[in-house]
Structures are given as structure tokens and as C-alpha cells.
Structure 1
Amino acid sequence: MHRLLRPVTLANVCSRWLHLVTGGMLAVLCMFVSPMPAAHGQIVLLHAALVSVPLLVLLGLVPVVRRAEGMQAQLMLIAGRPSPQRDARRARITTAPAASVADVWRTVCWLVLRVQLGTLTLSASGWLPVLTVRLARRDDGYALLAPLPLLGLAAVAVGAGEFIAAAARWLLAPSTVERIAALEERTERLMEHNRLARELHDSIGHALTVVVVQAGAARAASSAEFTEQALTAIEETGRHALEELERVLEVLREDSSPPQERPALTDTARLLDAARGSGAEVTAEVSGPLDTLAGPVSREGYRIVQESLTNVLRHAGPVPVTVRIAVHDDVVELDIRNQLGAPSPVSGAGRGLRGIRERASLLGGHAETGPHAGSWRVHVRLPTAIR
């Protein structure tokens, strides 16, 4: 019972009553089109509501009317303070124009129901208070019944408001196409958040690994020149990490400006310099036009190289590394190899390597990771274009 009556608040009751009475005003206008001078005022109003049906059918055939009715229903039938629950209830009412025959006829049914029920509510709102006054003026025992019409009016306002809100969730509900589009949008948003989480893991993890390695080497070294180089490398790596973090946070902010360009394979030299600054002997071989690769392929390839070098520094230390990037007609090959250090990279690997395989799979490529001919190898093949 509490769950049923939870939406019944003063704000909701008043806004729903106003929504119904506004719909009933169309019947008042129709009273001048088809007058019944000999009839009672309430009967004339109800007759005018029936006369308005053909006009409502014509209005319902206009696609944009569904959008207008949906916006009114969201604002007036689901009132209250902003909250996730209120937003979820509002999402069950569409604000899109009619896109199918079914949407049109549901809009017609909604208009007819709104005006007819609104006319009854308007009639009760005018007649019941008058009845209360008449009963209060009587000298007999009927004066004690004067509060009953007001209680009846309150019951009509609450009951009709709940009914029209339930009808809106049915007749103005998003169509199947709209629900599918909303589901796809939500899926895209979740995938984007997952991608950003992987980017944070790769970029920040790489930066922290370089900083830790450089700091340890600087402390162990007795050369002031080497210490200066290590501090410079730490400064540059930290600055790049802050730029990456700020870029990801801008994407997550709803009011953010367009995000900065993400790094691509053409920026691989920055990764190689950072690895060399950490003491690793990096040998790089790049062949083919990197700038002709599709944007997603080039960006994900950069992250794969970054994660591979991070794993080398984290699990093998400053050992010789060979990085080979080769662009062919329909595939780009990434091959990163390093000597097995102590501890073995197998001991701590897992999430990073899984991320590499996930990135390759999402692009339609393939990734192989593991020991190979006495070294640790990451070999990835990606399509040069996204189909």
C-alpha cells in the first residue's frame, strides 16, 4: 500500500488535477459550437466533451502532437523534487513525435481519454463545492453532510490523477523502436566508460611504472647526471599522465567541451623515449604509412604498445626490448619482445594482457602473448581499416 500511495503527494495531486482540468477546457470551448440551452450546465459540458471527439481524432493524426502531450505528461503527471526515481518514471513517457500508425492511434486514444476524464474532473470540481455550500445552508440534519462532497472531490482528484498517470505510461510509452534506440545509447555509453577505464589503466599504469623505475634507479645511482635525467623523465611522464587524466575526465563530465585528440601510433616515439629513460634498451623498427591507418586502429594500437612496454618495465625491469610496427595493405602487425627478467612476466601478468586481447578482438584482430624462443612476446595483428 505504501508503494502504491508513494506518488500521491500534494504536488502530484495538484499538478495532475491541473492537467486534467486543462484537458476539460477543450469541452468548454466546444460548448459554443454545439450549445444545448435547455439542458443542465453539467449535461451541456458532458455533451460538449463528446462533440470534441472528431477534433481530437484529427489532432492525434499530427505526429508532433504526441511529443507535446508527452512533454506535458512528464511535467505535470510526474511532479516532485528531482530524483532518480522521478527521472525513471518520466522516462516511461515518450517525448518523440509519432513514428508509426500504432503511435498515432495511441495518441488519439490518449487525447480522447484526457479530454473525457478531464471534463468529468472539471464538472466535479465545479459541482461538488456548490453542493457543499448548499448543504451547509440547510437548517436540518443534512448540514452535517456538507464535508462529504469535498471529500468526494479529493477522492476524484486523487483517483483520476492516478488513472491518467497510469494511462500515460501505457498510451504515451516509448515505442519499440525508441526503446531499442535508448538501449543502444545506454550500451554505447557503458562501452565508452569501459574503454575509458581501460585507457586509465594503461596510461596511468604506464606512467606510474616509469616513475617508480626511474625513482628507484636514481636512488641507486651515484651519478648526479643520471639522477638529473631520471628526474626529467619523471617530470615529463607525470605531465603526460596528467594530460591523459584530464582528457578522460573531460569526457566523463556532461558539460565538457570536445575532448582532446587521443594519442595514436604516430605518437609511439613518446613511449619509446619513456622506456629508454627508464633504463630499457629499446630497439624500434617501423615500416609502412602509420598515418593512413583508421583512427580507432591507430589509437588502440598505441595503447597496446603502451601496455606492452609497461608490462616489460613492471615485470622484467630495464631489459632489452624490440618493438616492431609494420603496416601492410590490409593488416598492421605489432610485435614487442623482451628478455625474460626476474621475476618472470608470467607471475604478475593478467589484467593488462587481457586488455590487449580485448582491444584486438574488438577491432576484429588477434593477439598472442607468452614466452617465445627464450623471450616474452606480444604479437598483435589488427585490420588497417574498420568495416
Structure 2
Amino acid sequence: MMRGIRPLLRGSTYSGALFAFCGALVSLPLLPVALLPALAWPTAPYGVRIGLVLLSWAALIGVVGLARATRRVLIADARRLLRVPLPDPAGAHRPASSPGTSPGTSTSTEPASPAPTPAARWRTPLWLLLHVALGWIGALASGVLIIAGLTLPGNWLRAEAGLSLFGWSVRVAGGWASWVVALGCLLLAATVCVVVTGALRWAAPKLLGPSSAERLALAAERELRLAERNRLAHELHDSIGHTLTAATIQAAVAGEVLSADPVAARAAMRSIEESTRAALEDLDYVLGALREEKAGTAPTRTLADLPELLDRLRHAGAVVEPELSGELAQVHGTLSRAAYRILQEGLTNALRHGAGGPIEVRVTAASDALEIDVVNRTGVRASTGKSAGPGAFPTSGHGLPGLAERVRLLHGEVEAGPDGPRHWRLAVRLPVRLSA
């Protein structure tokens, strides 16, 4: 028995009924327009004119349901008042810009909104018609029952109490019988709310929920958002990790030569300032993207910024031996940005774990591939005598796996590991198409 009464005591039951009644109320402005066909045919029988009004009213409600904005509003209201877990329509959370481009620039990786099938296109009008119909039925039935429940006990001391409405008369024997009938009317009104709310909750996932094509589009959007967050995590790791490593070494160098060579110490501090400023730009962009704000143009680093990267390493005390060949300036777009980040990660690892010897950097742009090699000496750091192995600096362990994932997405090849007894080598080969 308690299980049957429990829906009558839930607030969600009456919020759902309110949702249904609002549907009936919102349809009222369409009624004057629906009256026009009946007014244009005054000689038609009364029943025909009523039918014309109802058909015109239903057609207008269906037309309103075809608008995409109507579907979004209905889904939001159904979630809030019916407590039905409905996802947003496909395309509601689409990123404003593609990775590495300024906002407003389209990208071919974004999933296109699926063209709705005829059956899917008519689901929202059907829902709206059901919503309005149940709203009117529930509002009229519960209104009559509530009026009866409030009116009948008013005359409970008389010999007979009664109620007349729309030509119907109900007579109840006096005394406590009128109270029993009144309570029954109120319970029936609450039951109407339960039935209307239950019917809408049952129909909402079927008519407002995503279709098969929309489910595929939603899954593609989730995958795109996850890929974008992973890309941002890689960018943040590469940029901040390199900056902190270089700044730590530069600060140590500045401290050691502060008294003996103030000029070198000032140069190291300037390098720290420049590298941290660039890292802050990257951090601001990433945090803005994660907060889904309208961030500015993404701070892209490409192979054109490679000299600046090498200079920062030299300011940190590293000996860099670059060997650049081929038309690097003709490598553009995603490939150039990825190559810069790969070199940044490789040089950061060489700076973090190297033994203080020269870091050999070879970048070759051929007609079919871009080849990157970073070779450094491993073992004991010459300047401090401390170990320069993997434990010399704390690491997150995401550097090489993230680098390998970046290479894999570009259909490239990567090798990382010992190169002889005293060297470590990172070798990357990326397919490339040089622009004319």
C-alpha cells in the first residue's frame, strides 16, 4: 500500500505535472490562429468547425516543434522538471576552434551534425503534441476534481451537499460523507498528476532522447573533446616541463657564477624570465580552453622557433651541436608544430638526464620525411659530479609515452633508448609533404 501512495508524496510528481500544464498554457497563443479556418467557413456544421480548429491547432503545434531551439528548450525543461536524464542534442558542446588554430577556424576533424531522418525529424512535434494533449487532459481533470474536493465539504452540515458543473450535477448525502467524497476527489486529482507525469517520463527518452545517428554524433563529440584535452595535456607537459627544467638549471648556474661572473649570471636570469613568460602564455591558453572560455589565438611553436629553443638550452649551460638540413621553412602546419614539441621533449630529457656533454641535434627535411635525432651523453654530470640518470630530476613518466603518441598520430616512427655504452638517442621519422 505504501508503494502505491509513495508517488503521491514525491515533489517530482507535481513538478512533472506542472511541466505538462505549462505545455497546455504555452499552446494557448496558437489558438486564435487555429480559429481562422473555422471563421472562414461559417456555414460548416458545428462538429466540422470544431474539428477544423483542433486540426489547425495540432498542425501549428507540430510546426513549432520542428524548430531546433524548441527541442533544446524541451530537453532542458524535461531534465529539470521531469527528472529524466536526457543528453544535450549533438553539436551543443562542439569546440569553437580546432587544435592549434585560432577560434572560429573550422576543422575537418569536427564531427558534422547528422542529417535527421524523416522519422527522427518528427519526433519533437510528436512529443510536443503529446505534451500539450496530456497537459490539457491533466489540467481539466485535476482542476474539476480539486474544485469538487474544495466545494463539497462547505455544505457538510446540510442534509445534502452538491456540485453542478458544465450541466452535470453531483449530490452527496450530508454529514461526513461529503468529507469522504471530497478527500477522494483530491486523491484522484493527485493520481491524475501521477499518471500524466508517468506518461511523459515514459515518452521523453523515446521522443526527446537521441536517435541512432545522434548517438554516433555525441560519441564522436566526446571523443573529440577527449582528444583535445589529451592534446592540451601534452602541450602543457612539454612546455611547462621544459621551462621548469631549464629554469632550475639556469638558476643553479646563476648561483654558482653570481660572484665570479655577474654578466653570465644576469644572462641566465634573463633567460629564465623569457622562458617562463612563454610558458605562462601556454598555461593561460590551456587553462582558458579547459574552462571553455573564448581564449585568444593558441600560442603555436613551430620549427621556426627552434633557434630560440636552442638558445635557451645554451643559457642553461648546455652545449648544443645542431645540424639542420633541408627546406625546414617549407614544413608548415601540424607537422611543424609537432616537430617542435618533439624536439622540446627530447632536449628537455637530454638536459634533465644528460651528463653535461654536448647534445647533438639533427633535423633533416627530405622530400618524403622529416627526420629528427637527439643524442646526448649519459652517466655522471661533469659540472656537479652528481648522477644524471633517470632519478636526477623528478619526472611524471608521461614524456616519452606522450611523444610516442604524438608520433603515432602523425603516422611516424620513433625509437628511444641507449646508443652505445655512454649515449642516449631519440630518433623520429615523420612523413612529410613539402609545400611549393
TM-score strictly above 0.5: yes
Partner of 1:173: 209
What amino acid is aligned across from residue 403 of structure 2 in structure 1?
A: I
Determine which of 142, 156, 164 is the counterpart of 2:177.
Answer: 142
Distance 1:29 1:273 in 2: 75
Task: Using the TM superposition, give the Cα deviation of residue 295 of structure 1 relative to its aligned residue in structure 2, in angstroms.
Answer: 1.2
Name the stretch that deviates more: 270-279 or 103-112. 103-112
- Residue 265 of structure 1 is matched in structure 2 by 303
Residue 161 of structure 1 is matched in structure 2 by 197
Identical amino acids, percent of aligned pairs: 36
For residues 337 and 193 of structure 2, the distance between their equivalents in structure 1, rounded to whole angstroms, comes to 59
Q: Deviations over 1:95-114 (max 9, x none)?
A: 99982122145345434433
1:203-242 matches, within 5 Å, as 203-221=239-257, 222-242=260-280
Which residue of the partner structure matches residue 22 of structure 2? Answer: 18
Shift of 1:375: 2.0
CA distance in 2, matches of 1:318, 1:102: 69
Give me the TM-score of the superposition, normalised by structure 2: 0.73
1:6 CA drift (Å): 6.9
2:360 matched to which residue of 1? 322
| Residue 351 (1) aligns with residue 355 (2) | no
Unaligned runs of 5+ residues in structure 1 are 36-43
1:67-122 CA distance string (max 9 Å, x none):
35523423443336xxxx97x82426789998212214534543443343233213
Given that 1:293 and 1:385 are in contact with CA atoms closer than 8 Å, whether structure 2 keeps it comes out as yes
Aligned twin of 1:301 = 339
Paired residue secondary structure (2:406): helix
Output one character per residue of 1:150-194: Cα deviation in whole Å (capped at 9) or x when no partner: 332222123302321331221122211112112111111111111
Aligned to 2:415: 368
Please, which moves more after superposition, 15-24 or 313-322? Answer: 15-24
Secondary structure, aligned partner of 1:135: helix
Offset at residue 298 of structure 1 (A): 0.9
SS at structure 2 position matched to 1:279: coil
Q: Which residue of 87, 90, 97 corresponds with 1:91? A: 87
Residue in structure 1 matched with residue 149 of structure 2 by the alignment? 132
**1:347 deviation in Å?**
5.8
Q: What TM-score, normalized by structure 1, do the two folds share?
A: 0.81
Matched, 1:290 2:328: yes
Tell me which residue corresponds to 1:41. none
User: Structure 1 residues 262 and 32, CA, compared in 2 at 3 Å: closer, same or farther?
Assistant: closer
**Contact 2:66-2:121 within 8 A present in 1 as well:** no
Deviation track 1:31-90 (CA, whole Å, cap 9, x = no partner) reads 99789xxxxxxxx99x96898468747865x6962635523423443336xxxx97x824
Task: State which of 375, 380, 384 in structure 2 corresponds to 1:337.
Answer: 375
As a proportion of its length, which structure holds more helix? 1
Question: What do residues 187-231 of structure 1 show as CA deviations (whole Å, max 9, x unaligned)?
Answer: 111111111111111111111111111122222333323222222
Q: Secondary structure at the match of 1:146?
A: helix
Cα deviation for residue 309 of structure 1 reads 0.9
Distance 2:57 2:246 in 1: 73
Q: 2:425 aligns with which of 368, 373, 377?
A: 377
Contact 2:8 2:194 in 1 (8 A): no
Query: For the residues of structure 1 that align with 2:401 and 2:69, how far apart are their CA atoms?
Result: 49
Work out the CA distance in 2 between the residues paired with 1:29 and 1:151: 37
CA distance in 1, matches of 2:9, 2:75: 19
Which of 120, 124, 139 is the matching residue for 1:122? 139
Q: Does the Cα contact within 8 Å between 1:13 and 1:161 map onto a contact in 2?
A: yes
Whole-angstrom CA distance in 2 between matches of 1:26 and 1:130:
27
Deviations 1:352-384 (A, max 9, x none): 222221111111101111122442111101122
Q: Aligned equivalents of 1:196 and 1:24: distance in 2?
A: 50
Give the secondary-structure state (helix, strand or coil) at the position aligned to 2:85.
helix
Q: Partners of 2:7 and 2:348 in 1: how far apart?
A: 53
**1:68 and 1:307, CA in 2 relative to 1: closer, same or farther beyond 3 A?**
closer
Cα 1:242–1:31 change in 2 (3 A) is closer
RMSD between aligned alpha carbons?
3.8
Aligned to 1:40: none
Change (3 A) 1:52 1:26: farther
Report the residue type matching 2:146 in the other structure: P
Partner SS state of residue 334, structure 1: strand
